[in-house]
Amino acid sequence: MDNVLSTSIKLRMTAYSALFTALIIIGGYISIPIPISPIPIVLADFFVMMAGLFMGYKWGAGSVMLYVFLGFVGLPIFAGGKAGLSVIVGPTGGFVLGYLLMAFIIGFISTRGKASFVKNLAALIIGNISLYTVGILGLKISMDLSIGKAIAVGLFPFIIGIVIKVSALLLLAQILLPQFKQKILYIKNNTY
């Protein structure tokens, strides 16, 4: 019976993981170029945060890993419909790779111990710090910018958006996360 339950949970998690990958892809297509930065405003990071928060570190990062893999092999799913190695080594590459770390960190922190608003907030803040650290370093290296210039074009234009996305996700998590966890039969030590 336990094996059937475990298989059922894994099947559900795989389906949800694929759904989050699709949401991240859709979020990447919602791309708004801004004149002061080579990095566009996207909703992909919102869905990456959501994947980590809702799916935990293994399945959330797995969703992002599939997204990165599909874009790397040539499917035009990165911001603005771009794809391939040129994106990974270009100005946005650090952000694309940073999504993996972001989902992992958010999932890891949010699934430890008892669920709480404060823990989710901390997970989202630390996850964003990790994303922007990797993204800014990638931007600095790919465009040969000073660290100050990379921060100016890779972080400052996005601070308001980060606050809005984190706030919206915290609200959604308060409403939907308990139901989501119950629906997938969240069993702390057996699922993650």
- The torsion angles phi and psi of 40, rounded to 5 degrees, stand at -80, 160
Q: Considering only residues 8 and 137, tell me which one the structure prediction assigns the higher pLDDT.
A: 137
pTM (predicted TM-score): 0.91
What's the pLDDT tens digit per position in 125-143?
A: 999 999 999 999 999 999 9
Q: What is the mean pLDDT of residues 93-121?
A: 95
Which pLDDT score is estimated for 185? 55
Q: What is the CATH number of domain 2-191?
A: 1.10.1760.20
Tell me the average pLDDT across 72-92. 94
Average per-residue pLDDT for the chain:
92
Sign of CA dihedral 16, 78, 176, 60: positive
Q: What is the pLDDT of residue 192?
A: 45
pLDDT in tens, 38-52: 999 999 999 999 999
User: Residue 4 pLDDT > 60, yes or no?
Assistant: no
Residue with tokens 């566009």: 40
User: What's the pLDDT tens digit per position in 145-190?
Assistant: 999 999 999 999 999 999 999 999 999 999 998 888 877 654 444 5
Report the distance separating Cα 105 and Cα 144, nearest Å.
28
